[in-house]
Structure 1
């Protein structure tokens, strides 16, 4: 590439010929082109969503309808849904600043249905002496037992229990993003949308459609 050739010439002058070049020489490096994000039209979004199924459909609806990042969607917990005000509380992973986003009315019933499924799974886990999840900001040390409470459970729980590296205890984490991305790729092909569509595409599209 152009930058590799530039670096080789720079090495020759500095290390072999011992000639120090002017600092402005760096301006000759090839500049990285900024890719514009892929934006879908409404006519492209809806066929994709219609073809999605189950939890994955609701996830994509939240990505697009609420403008969520993938990890924000996956890590949603029961306590972060406010049906009364029609909002979701999105927690900053670093604990700095949280934000609230509007929950579209047409997603209320699907989200309630998903919570019902998650509740049944959590109930079975408790019966089998499990029911643990992971807590943010080391809250499990401050509030022992909170990691088994319903309000802290992930809305999109993993289908299997995983050993917690810190304690060795079996916990139920949230679903992995790769599963959604894989399902999305298949649906995009079936939909006939000829764009490079990824999970973050729906967040960019959400922001554009608000304008």
Structure 2
């Protein structure tokens, strides 16, 4: 007798097969490749959800290797199903793929000297799988700081002169007029500089 997870996987395969019969070949993009192909278009994911109401969505759709999507597109979900189900459930399970709730590992390391150069010239989108594998620091938005911090050290004079600084055009001009030291934290948060 099949366990509930393997029966869900079997039902997913059947649904994907039915979807494959209804899709024109020109619209197919295959994260699952070789045999059963499935488009990542909104319409096909909508069709998958309509047919798969009884399938429980997996709680964890984590791809544990940067090449999971590449392997899935090359048919490894079917050729090496045991390995792929353990290592790449987000790339092989349509419930993860259609919901968009799969995750990829965060390593934030560039293993090739040219990563930053390649990233500046668009390789992150053209060669996504390779670049996420070898140049994740250069390509993955999660590896870049999402904010910068500016802070000031206030040395205001406690006299009537401070009111005239309120008339300056910008806060930066007012800070310079009041001789306030403006410090800026670099985006990678490695150093603080005076402005």
Higher RCO, 1 or 2 (CA under 8 Å, sep at least 6)? 1
Q: TM-score range by the shorter chain?
A: under 0.3
TM-score by length of 1: 0.22
More helix by share: 1
What's the TM-score, normalizing by structure 2? 0.23
